[in-house]
């Protein structure tokens, strides 16, 4: 059995590259998660998980993360990504949601806040707190936006 993460960090980045993969890598660098192995997870924040500042991950680590990314190759196009954490009561789990779109950081942030509210409503509750990280980028050649919630350990 894997240990349950007790910390989380919201990260976001944007990048340009010659190819979609190198643009994605540049966005990961900007977000601070490029030198690890991302393990994509779904949407549940473990009960009692606390936010962490100054994310430092050991190179090569297997890092659980819920994330969204969008790559575009049309110069001048604006792309955006957001991640949100909705926290319920201290002893209950929370929700992690991610969203990408052609638009602005403000637009994806507004959408993701509504998504958090809906996810809690589906479960019969309301979040006590919503934390959001959003980013946008105007494509020059091949651009990428990335937003994620890293799950980690003390």
37 counts as catalytic: yes
Q: Is 91 left (phi over 0), alpha (psi -120 to 50) or beta?
A: alpha
CA distance 129 to 94: 10
CB-count burial class (<10 Å; 0-12, 13-18, 19+) for 131: middle
Q: Catalytic: which of 16, 18, 35, 98?
A: 98
119 counts as catalytic: no
Q: Catalytic: which of 18, 42, 53, 90?
A: 42
Q: Catalytic: which of 6, 16, 43, 117?
A: 43
Q: Catalytic: which of 37, 92, 129, 140?
A: 37
**H-run or E-run covering 23:** helix 20-31
98 counts as catalytic: yes
What Cα–Cα distance (Å) separates residue 143 from each residue in 11, 88, 110?
17, 35, 22
42 counts as catalytic: yes
Active-site residue list: 37, 42-43, 98
């Amino acid at each position: 059995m894997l240990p349950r993460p007790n910390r989380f960090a919201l990260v976001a980045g944007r990048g340009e590259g010659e190819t979609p993969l190198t643009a994605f890598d540049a966005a990961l660098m900007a977000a601070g998660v490029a030198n690890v192995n991302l393990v994509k997870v779904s949407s549940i924040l473990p009960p009692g998980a606390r936010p962490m500042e100054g994310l430092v991950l050991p190179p090569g680590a297997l890092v659980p993360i819920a994330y969204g990314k969008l790559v575009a190759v049309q110069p001048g196009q604006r792309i955006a990504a957001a991640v949100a954490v909705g926290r319920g009561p201290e002893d209950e789990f929370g929700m992690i949601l991610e969203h990408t779109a052609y638009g602005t950081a403000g637009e994806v942030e507004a959408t993701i806040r509504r998504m958090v509210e809906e996810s809690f409503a589906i479960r019969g509750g309301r979040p006590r707190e919503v934390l959001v990280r959003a980013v946008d980028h105007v494509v020059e050649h091949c651009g990428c936006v990335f937003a994620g919630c890293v799950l980690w350990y003390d």
